[in-house]
Amino acid sequence: MALVVYNTLTRRKEPFEPIESGHVKMYCCGVTVYDFCHLGHARSYIAWDTVRRYLTWRGYKVRYVQNFTDIDDKILNRAREEGSTMEAVAERNIQLYFEDMRRLNILDADAYPRATNTIDGIKRLIYELEQKEFAYAAGGDVYYAVQHDREYGKLSGRKLEDMQAGASGRVDDEEPKKRYPFDFALWKGAKPGEPAWDSPWGKGRPGWHIECSAMVREFLGETIDIHVGGADLVFPHHENEIAQSEAATGKSLANYWLHNGMVNVDGEKMSKSLGNFTTIRDLLDKKGIDPMVIRFFVLQASYRKPIDFTNEALSAAQNGWETLKDGLLFGFKLNSALEGEIDRTSQTVQEFQAAMDDDFNTSGALAALFPVAKELQRQGNILVHEGKTDTAPDILQVQWKTLVELAKVLGLEAEPEAESSGGLSDSEIETLIQQRKDAKKAKDFAEADRIRNDLQVQGITLIDKPGGEVIWHR
Ligand SMILES: Nc1ncnc2c1ncn2[C@@H]1O[C@H](COP(=O)(O)OP(=O)(O)OP(=O)(O)O)[C@@H](O)[C@H]1O
Ligand SMILES: [Zn+2]
C-alpha cells in the first residue's frame, strides 16, 4: 500500500516519495509567541504531530523542525502594554507553549529555531536575493519584487493581475516605499525603541516570511519533503516563503505542502485578534476537559476540513474518548504485558493503515479502532463482574496491544493511574453501593448522589439497572 497525500501545490493527492529513501524532512510553521495558545493552534499542532507519528510508525526517520516567531509587531505591542521587553514576552509564551502542547501529548520537535537566533541566515538570504535582483532596498527597508518572479502565486493559485483589482484599499506605512503594492518586506528599518540588528541596509529587523525560508535552509536544507501549516498561511506566508527560497536557490523549497483546516466559531476562524478564542489552558483547567478529548475532537475530522467548535462536538468527542479509553485500559485489568510485536496483517491494522495512507484520514483510523475498543470495553465489564472474560485472554491481549499501539500513533494514550480507584477494594465498593441503596430507600437522595459522585471521582462508574440492580466498573 502506498501513502498518498494531498499536496496544496498541485491541488491533488499524490503518492508520497521522500527525497532520500526512508527519511522525511518536515518543517512546521510555529506560533507567534505573544499570548496563550488557543484551540486553533492545538488543532494545527495535533494534526502535524499525528502525521509525524504516523510517518515514524510507517518506518520513516522523520526530522521535524518547528520555529518560534519571537519578533513581531504583536509581541512588541504586548511588551509595551506590559512595560516589559520583547524577550520577556517571547520567553514566557514559549514556555507556556511547551506546557500546553506537552499536555496534549504533542511530541517535541527535533529543533525549535527562533527568528532572533537566525538573523545571520536571514541576512545572507536577503543579500542573495538582492544580488539576483529579486530584492531592493528602499528607505531602510528591503522588499521582495514579486513582479520579477514569474512563478509568484503558484501555491495559492493567485495571479498578480487579479490581486491588483482588490488592492486599492491597502494602505500602510510601507506602501510609499514599495515599487509595487504586493511586494513584501524582507527587512524592516529600525523604529525608535524597537529591537534592531545591524545589516548592510542599516539597523532593522527581519520580516515574518523570510525567517521561515532561512530556518528551513539552515536546519533542513534547500529542498525538504513536507512543509506544513494552517490553511490561512497559504497566502501570503507560504507563497512568500516559496518565492524567497526558490528565487535564492533555484530549487524547489518543499515537495509536498500540507495545510490544516481552521477551527471555526460560528463560521469564523478562532483567533486572538477576533477575540472568539478559547485557550488550551481554559479547556483543560477551567473546564476540566481531558487533553485526550481535545485530541480526539481534532482527530475526528479530516485535518484539511474546517471544524466548528461547539459544546455538542466536544461532548461527542468526550463520549468517543471514554469508549476508546476503556479499551486502552482493558489490559491493565487483565494484568497483561505490552511487550511483543503486534500482527501487522490483522484486519484492524490493515484498516487503520488504509485510512492513514489515504492522506492521514484520522477519522477513518479511529473508526478502525472503535470495534476493538468496544469489544474490550465489554469484556472489561464482564471481567469486573464475573471475574473472567468470555473470550480467551490471550486473544484479547493481542487485540489490546494492537489497540494501544495504533491509538498511540494518533497520540491517544490512557494512564492506568488516572483510573485508579484510590485503593478501594471490590468489597469496599460493594459496601458503598449498599449504603447508597439504603440512602435511596430512606429518600436521602443527596447522600445517594454524594456516594455516586465520590466513587466517580475515584474512577468507579455505577450503572443503575431496572429493578434496582447496580452494576459498576472501574
Ligand atoms: N483557528 C485556527 N484553526 C486552525 N489552525 C490555526 C487557527 N489559528 C491559527 N492556526 C494555526 O496555528 C499556527 C500558528 O499560528 P500563529 O501564531 O500565526 O497564530 P495566528 O493565526 O496569528 O492566530 P491568532 O490570530 O489567534 O493570533 C499556524 O499554522 C496557523 O495557521
Ligand atoms: Zn512559516
Q: What pLDDT digit, counting tens, does each position of 229-263 carry?
A: 999 999 999 999 999 999 999 999 999 999 999 99
Q: Is 41 in the pocket of ligand 1 (CB under 6 A)?
A: yes
Give the pTM: 0.88
pLDDT at 463 (0 to 100): 79
- Residues 319 and 335: beta-carbon distance below 8 Å: no
In terms of DSSP bridges, do strands 224-230 and 254-260 run parallel, antiparallel, or are they unpaired?
Answer: parallel
Alpha-carbon distance of 277 to 272, in angstroms, equals 6
pLDDT in tens, 178-237: 999 999 999 999 999 999 999 999 999 999 999 999 999 999 999 999 999 999 999 999
What mean pLDDT is predicted for residues 151-174?
79
Q: Is 346 in the pocket of ligand 1 (CB under 6 A)?
A: no
Q: Is 301 in the pocket of ligand 1 (CB under 6 A)?
A: no
What mean pLDDT is predicted for residues 83-95?
97
Atom of ligand 1 nearest to the CA of 44: 5
Identify which ligand lies nearest to the alpha carbon of 301.
1
Q: Is 124 in the pocket of ligand 1 (CB under 6 A)?
A: no
Q: Is 101 in the pocket of ligand 1 (CB under 6 A)?
A: no
- Complex-level ipTM beyond the 0.85 threshold: yes
Q: Which of 6, 26, 51 is nearest to 225 (CA)?
A: 26
Q: Is 233 in the pocket of ligand 1 (CB under 6 A)?
A: yes
pLDDT at 417 (0 to 100): 63
Asked whether residue 82 is marked as a ligand-binding residue, the answer is no
Q: Is 309 in the pocket of ligand 1 (CB under 6 A)?
A: no
Distance 41 CA to ligand 2 centre (A): 14
CB neighbours of residue 235 within 10 Å: 15
pLDDT at 255 (0 to 100): 98
Amino acid at site 95: Q
- Residues 309 and 270: beta-carbon distance below 8 Å: yes
Atom of ligand 1 nearest to the CA of 229: 29
Residue nearest to ligand 1 atom 2, measured at CA: 40
Q: Is 42 in the pocket of ligand 1 (CB under 6 A)?
A: no
Q: Specify the length of the chain in residues.
A: 474
Identify which ligand lies nearest to the alpha carbon of 70.
1
Identify which ligand lies nearest to the alpha carbon of 42.
1
Cα angle at 363 between 362 and 364, to 5 degrees? 90
Asked whether residue 28 is marked as a ligand-binding residue, the answer is no
| Cα dist from 97 to 40, 92, 419, whole Å | 13, 9, 27
DSSP notation for 86-123: HHHHHHHHHHHHHHHHHHTTPPPPSB--BGGG-HHHHH
Per the prediction, the chain carries an average pLDDT of 93
Domains and CATH numbers, the chain: 4-9+16-260 (3.40.50.620), 268-415 (1.20.120.640), 419-473 (no CATH)
pLDDT at 203 (0 to 100): 98
pLDDT at 421 (0 to 100): 47
Buried b or exposed e, range 126-157, using 16+ CB within 10 angstroms: bbebbeeebbbbbebbbbbbbebbeebbebbe
Placement of cell 506590559 in the chain:
82
Residue nearest to ligand 1 atom 7, measured at CA: 40
Which residues have a beta carbon within 5 Å of ligand 2, which is an ion?
Answer: 29, 212
- Residues 279 and 193: beta-carbon distance below 8 Å: no
Residue nearest to ligand 1 atom 21, measured at CA: 271
Q: Which of 333, 406, 336, 337 is nearest to 372 (CA)?
A: 406
Atom of ligand 1 nearest to the CA of 264: 1
pLDDT at 170 (0 to 100): 53
Distance 212 CA to ligand 2 centre (A): 5
62: which strand partners? Answer: 24
- Residues 424 and 460: beta-carbon distance below 8 Å: yes
pLDDT in tens, 54-77: 999 999 999 999 999 999 999 999
Distance 472 CA to ligand 1 centre (A): 43
Residue nearest to ligand 1 atom 5, measured at CA: 40
Question: Residue 425 — very low, low, confident or very high, per pLDDT cuts 50/70/90?
Answer: confident
DSSP notation for 180-228: STT-EEEEEE--TTS--B--TT-SEEE-HHHHHHHHHHHHT-SSEEEEE
Q: Is 50 in the pocket of ligand 1 (CB under 6 A)?
A: no
pLDDT(169) > 70: no
> Which class for 364: exposed (0-12), middle (13-18), buried (19 or more C-beta within 10 A)?
middle
Residue nearest to ligand 1 atom 14, measured at CA: 31
Alpha-carbon distance of 30 to 139, in angstroms, equals 30
Question: Residue 419 — very low, low, confident or very high, per pLDDT cuts 50/70/90?
Answer: very low
pLDDT in tens, 278-326: 999 999 999 999 999 999 999 999 999 999 999 999 999 999 999 999 9
pLDDT in tens, 374-384: 999 999 999 88
Asked whether residue 29 is marked as a ligand-binding residue, the answer is yes
Look up residue 450 and give its three cell numbers. Answer: 454524594
